[in-house]
Chain A
Amino acid sequence: MAEAIIDVQDLHKSYREGLFTSKQVNALRGVSLTVPRGTIFGLLGPNGAGKTTLIKILLGLVKRSSGNGALLGRPLGDRLGRKMVGYLPEHHRFPRHLTGNAAMIYYGGLSGLSRSEVLAKRPALLERVGLSKWGNTPVHKYSKGMQQRLGIAQSLLHNPELVILDEPTDGVDPVGRADIRRLLKELQQEGTTIFLNSHQLQEIEMVCDQAAILLGGRVQKVGTIEEITTHPNARVEFVMRGSIDQMRYALSAVETEPWQTDGDHLARVVVSAEDQAMLNQCIDQLRQHQIDIVEIRRLRTSLEEAFLNIVTSETPQ
């Protein structure tokens, strides 16, 4: 198993609501999560689920109430741990007096890079995010999408091992999104781990290897995208040729969805196979009854469906 670049156990965070009240708001309620090195890891969850709080705890911007964790092998909030992390916050703001080029020098300097190091890396990075022609423009004249690109560029200046991106495609046009997706894949190929917080489920599905769904301060589901999108009661579609009656008889022991037939010998049906044994049993029965299996296919849900399933099933009615 790959080395964990983020590893948190039972993280809790509670805030006091208001200055004079004792009411506590529990933002995180025991989050445990492991992000393997080299992956693109997506963090999903509805608003208020605790995603940004979790990211801020990882970076030491918010102090945890309890729990343990490590970032790049160092305790959470450790300054040296942040040294190899690139971060793009949601709704970030650059100082108005800076141009794109000056912003790169400024944030590079904050990351400990010398001016000459920044100058050496800057052209390629700006080129990579599509801002090479806009380096001398003041950042307050940048569009939202351009600011996002610049934010990504500054987060990559110091060749971080881990890049944490909070809504990186927010405000970016479809072409730009595709560019960013391509960039993330390139970074992954270069060995960078990416921790991606996004509301764009489709995007997560397209670029992430693994994801976690956070709800009410707890991790509801974690795993590969395939694991998340696979229906718990696995649905398998059979396309068969033979006697329709024999087919119905052979599959009478399992739950099926309405049959679709094409003439007297071709039928399509979806069965619920809870496990592999049941699926094998279905296949055995069909063969015993001389039925030809033309096609067999396991059906998956989309990430959005999976996400909505989890959210709706866990949200109290």
Chain B
Amino acid sequence: MRPYLTVIYDSFHEAIVSRVLYILLLALTLVLIALAPLSYDVKRMVKFNRMSIRDVPAFVQDLREAANADEASPGKRLVAMGNDPLKQLVQSDPGKFTAAQVNDVIDSLNAVLPKNDFYDEATWKDVTLGQETKVLLDKGTEGLSGDDLAYVNRLLLRDAFPVHLGNVPAEELYLTYPLMWAPVPLPITRELLPITVKYVLTGFIDVFVGMFAIFVAILVTAPIMPRTFEPGAIDLLLSKPISRSLLVIAKYIGGCAFVFLSVTYFLVGLWLIMGIQFDVWSPALLYCIPVFLFQFAIYYSVSSLAGVLWRNSIVSIVITVLFFYACFGIGLVKTSIFEPFIINPTKLVRLVDTDEGLVGVTQIGQFVQWNPNLRSWEVVLQSDRRGPENIAMQSIMVGPIYHAPTKTMMYLQQGGGMGPRRMGLSGGKFMTAKWSGNWVAETGASPPTGGSWILQDSDDNVLVVGSAGVFLYQGKGEEKKTKILGFDIQLGGAKSFERIGPDGGVPYFPPFAAAIDPASNRLLIDNQGSLMILNRDGGKGYKVTKQVSREEEVDVVVGLTSEVAIVADENGRIEFREADTLELQQTLRPAGDTPPSAIETSSDGKHVAVLFHNGTLWLYDIEAGEGTTIDNDASAITFHEDQMLVADNKNRVRAYDLASREIVETFWPDSDWYRFTYDWIVQPIYYVFPKPGELNNLLKYLVTEESTTSFQGPQSTGDLREVRQADNIVMPVVHNFIFICVMLGLTCIYVSRLDL
């Protein structure tokens, strides 16, 4: 073993005495020095901004109602003490708000914050004050001034309007870089700082180390093998009692020394900076060292083979760079051309079985219906959505559900960028698509603020669960229209949704989760780690009958049957709880730590299906107490009577009989040329080719512990129903490892047969 250790040690020695290493280390040091002053600052939130109000029109509507009421209320006081533009907005009801009007509302709120007579005990007597507010009020507001007073008033407003202002963070974060720029406000909370830092860090090191450093390493290490096999040098080496193959392996391992030294230096430096400046002491950052080493090892295996074949550094570098581009090109064709522009847009993400046939919703929000004659999915409706056509739904579609009595599909089109990660202004839209020989879409009434779930009870009542509670859809209501440039613009109906409870447990902060048990009409709601069962209050209203706290406050999807409540969290853990007491019965993790995208329950309440973002479909038989993985490539699911309909990533839908688990019907579209090209050319080439670039999935997973990527990027709400791409973590590692073995094997075989 000693001879081989000597070779490896010599490679380290060679790297250490290499001038190039010191130049690279100097460059890395300069980068670290440049990054070192970067830090953050936390200040109390003493101002409102555009992201502070969830739904401005709804907020102003509430102010209007308060202003017109006789009794004193915070809303009335706010309008009274606010500036003139707010008063005009409250009086005039403009319907749609312009950006300037939104700013007027914000300015009015900020205008009252410094006033020390804003708080009046009588006015706030019906408001449930938060603990922090009570403590500060007990100390008295008389002596307060400046930011302290503004802070108290902001808390008072938050307590008075929890639905609209309740999720405003108490602190504001600023990015600081001493001597260079003024602190930049960050649109994140302190809780989100670590994960945000990790995301940014992943992107940075992926580009900086994954491309720059490794490219430099390829250039530096390419001459090692050719130099080893130079006449005179190799004779001397192989005259020693060593094996040729092991010499190649030892040289190969030693060649990685260069990357190991430079990457370790940089990442440890970065780790220290992140820890000291951002308090993010993530050991996962150090796990990235072997990942980059592995990534380099792929290129170096190619470089080594070329090096022994041609014994020329230039040829070795050229071939390695060509290989680099080939890998990049193949990955680009698959993941950046075919999938986002051709394959994914047509992928079915929702299924609805209507009286008129099976309807699906594609990833970009198109409604498609199965045409058995053409054996294809026909576009029947384009949803109202934002963003480019060909990437993914930029906003979450809630639903659709099919309302059989009116032959109407109903769905909520949420505005993008909602939720705790980022506040927004749009309340979204309630949409209907009625069948009259074809599906005709219509924008319905304005949905309740924070409307996130659309459910249907056993009496075909349509319920929308929003931030303020549960709302009953009552039809179009009083529609409002306005004429702009000669066109009728619908403003929605103010009375289309009637709030039917509950009194406690609200507001719900998106992304909360809700589900209904169609047998009992009970609701299960998870809001910030608090799990609630809502029962009917004798009429149509709802009241909380049971509430428990879950261990972790993480994003979830939920499902409810008459017997069990199912909670699947973003870490892939599924909790089964007793439906009445919410007592935890068992915990399962059938798809590892992949987050779920949906839970569906069969109408008889005997089956629960959980769909995960990596395509795993897990079906649980409640009576038998057994769960089975049905599919690993599923994209959408729904139950219809005694069948389960499953769409896969090839847009094929299978109908399973729940009792026998056999496929009873298929909806398989004929393959077209691009699907054929993707399935039979792009995919196989991609499969056999190494994937060094895709190791960034592993990198991201190690640093952020997230195994999926949201198409929304920083706009992500965290809602698990968002279109997400399951990151391929294990497969690239395995394929790359096999590739390295093959390349090294070929190198060893060549060298062992070589006559010197």
Contact = CB atoms under 8 A, between A and B. Distances in A.
A95 B3 contact: no
B238 interface: yes
Contact of A63 (B230, B237, B755): B755
Interface stretch (B103-111, B179-187, B240-248, B495-503): B240-248
A59 interface: yes
Interface in A79-128: 79-80, 82-83, 85, 87, 89-95, 97-98, 102, 106-107, 109-114
Contacts of A94: 233, 236
A102 B2 CA distance: 16
A109 B5 contact: yes
A56 interface: yes
For the residues of B in contact with A, the DSSP-based class is helix
Contact of B3 (A56, A90, A111): A111
Nearest to B239: A87
Contact of A83 (B241, B755, B756): B241
A63 B240 CA distance: 16
A79 B752 CA distance: 13
B235 to A, nearest CB: 4
Contacts of A151: 236
Contacts of A293: none
B14 to A, nearest CB: 5
A61 interface: yes
B232 A92 contact: yes
B146 interface: no
Given A80-B241, A97-B18, A112-B2, A107 B13 contact: no
B13 A102 contact: yes
B224 to A, nearest CB: 10
- Interface range for B: 20 to 34
A92 B755 contact: no
Contact of A109 (B3, B14, B232): B3
B241 A82 contact: yes
Nearest to B228: A95
B235 A110 contact: no
Given A110-B3, A110-B237, A91 B756 contact: no
A111 B240 contact: yes
Contacts, number: 78
B231 interface: yes
Contacts of B235: 56, 61, 87, 89, 92
A62 interface: yes
A91 B231 contact: yes
B7 interface: yes
Nearest to A108: B6
Contact of B238 (A61, A63, A113): A61
B10 interface: yes
Contacts of B230: 93
Contact of A111 (B9, B233, B241, B755): B241
Contacts of B243: 79
B237 A91 contact: no
Nearest to B230: A93
Nearest to A138: B17
Contacts of B241: 79-80, 82-83, 111-112
- Interface range for A: 20 to 34
Contact of B239 (A85, A109, A112): A85
Contact of A97 (B5, B13, B755, B756): B13
A268 to B, nearest CB: 53
Interface string B449-491: 0000000000000000000000000000000000000000000
A95 B755 CA distance: 21
Contacts of B17: 97
A29 B9 CA distance: 42
A106 B233 contact: no
Contacts of A113: 2
Interface string A5-40: 000000000010000000000000000000000000
Given A61-B756, A97-B13, A97-B17, A114 B233 contact: no
Contacts of A82: 239-241
B581 to A, nearest CB: 70
Interface-central residue, A15, A63, A112, A151, by most chain B CB under 10 Å: A112
B239 A79 contact: no
Contacts of B236: 87, 89, 92-94, 107, 151, 154
Interface string B208-236: 00000000000000000001001111011
Interface in B573-588: none
A128 to B, nearest CB: 19
Contacts of A154: 236
B242 A110 contact: yes
Contacts of A60: 238
A110 B7 contact: yes
Interface string B1-27: 011011101100110011000000000
B228 to A, nearest CB: 9
B493 to A, nearest CB: 81
Nearest to B5: A109
A89 B6 contact: no
Nearest to A114: B2
B756 A56 contact: yes
Nearest to A87: B239
B6 A93 contact: no
Interface string A198-235: 00000000000000000000000000000000000000
Interface-central residue, B17, B236, B239, B241, by most chain A CB under 10 Å: B239
B233 A92 contact: yes
A95 B233 CA distance: 8
A114 B755 CA distance: 30
A95 B2 contact: no
A151 B17 CA distance: 22
Contact of A110 (B6, B18, B232, B755): B6
The list of the 8 closest CB pairs from A to B, nearest first, reads: A109-B6, A87-B239, A89-B235, A93-B232, A110-B240, A83-B241, A92-B232, A93-B233
Interface of A: 15, 56, 59-63, 79-80, 82-83, 85, 87, 89-95, 97-98, 102, 106-107, 109-114, 151, 154
11 contacts: A59-B238, A61-B235, A62-B756, A87-B235, A89-B235, A90-B232, A95-B233, A107-B236, A109-B6, A111-B241, A151-B236
